[in-house]
Amino acid sequence: MRAAAVRLIAQHGCAAVSMRQIAAEVGVQVGALYNYTPDKQSLLCQLMETHMADLLAHLEAEDLKGSAPKQLEGFARFHMRFNIPRKDEVFISYMELRNLTPENFAKIESMRRTYEDRLEAILKQGEDEGVFVIADSRITAMALISLLNGVINWYRPEGRLTIQGIEQIYWDLVRGAVGMRG
C-alpha cells in the first residue's frame, strides 16, 4: 500500500490522488485503507518520515571519516546512489512539504536540516584544512544538494548513462564547485 501511494502521489501529487485510486492500485476497497492509516495526512507524513529516516540512517551507516575531500566524495556518491532509485520518494519529500500540517512539517524539516548540517560540517572541515574555497558553507551545502538532486528530474533507468557514470560526472561538478580542481 505504501508503495502504491508513493507511486501515485509522486506521479500526480498528493491532492490529486484520491484514497479510492490508491485502494484500486492495491486491489482493495477504500475502507480497507483505514486499517493502515488514520487518515490521508498521516499517510503522506509517514511516507515522508520513513524516507527521511531511511536517508539519515543510511548516511550514518556510511560512517564517513577522514579528510574533507574524501568525506565529500563519500557524501556525494552516497547521495546519488541512495536517491536515484528512490526518485519518487525524493520528489514527494520536496513537493508535498506544503501539504503537511505545521507539526508534521516541522518534524520533516528538522530531519532535512540534520542532513544538510552533515554536509555543511564536511564543508567547514574542508575550509579548516584549507582544501576547499567556499564563500558561505550553509548556502554551499544547500546548493550542492540542489545540484545533486537535479539528477532525479531527468534520470531514466533506460537512459544512455550508467549510474556509475552519472556519479562520476556529478562528483566532478561538486569537486569543482568547492574549488578543488585547481
Partner DNA sequence: TTTTCAAATGAACATTTGTTCAGTTACATG
Partner DNA sequence: CATGTAACTGAACAAATGTTCATTTGAAAA
Residue 128, CA distances (Å) to 73, 131, 176, 179 in order: 17, 8, 18, 14
The binder of DNA chosen from 2, 7, 13, 19 (CB under 7 A):
19
Distance CA 165, CA 178 (A): 20
When asked if residue 173 is in the footprint of a copy of itself (CB under 8 A), the reply is yes
When asked if residue 3 is in the footprint of DNA (CB under 7 A), the reply is no
When asked if residue 142 is in the footprint of a copy of itself (CB under 8 A), the reply is yes
The binder of a copy of itself chosen from 3, 11, 39, 109 (CB under 8 A):
11
Name the minimum Å distance from CB 50 to DNA.
Answer: 18
Which runs of consecutive H residues, i.e. helices, occur in the chain?
2-12, 19-26, 30-33, 40-62, 68-83, 87-95, 102-129, 137-149, 151-154, 163-177
Distance CA 31, CA 95 (A): 27
When asked if residue 66 is in the footprint of DNA (CB under 7 A), the reply is no
Q: Which positions touch a copy of itself (CB under 8 A)?
A: 11-16, 95, 98-99, 133, 135-136, 139-140, 142-147, 149-151, 153-154, 161, 166, 168-170, 172-174, 176-179, 181-182
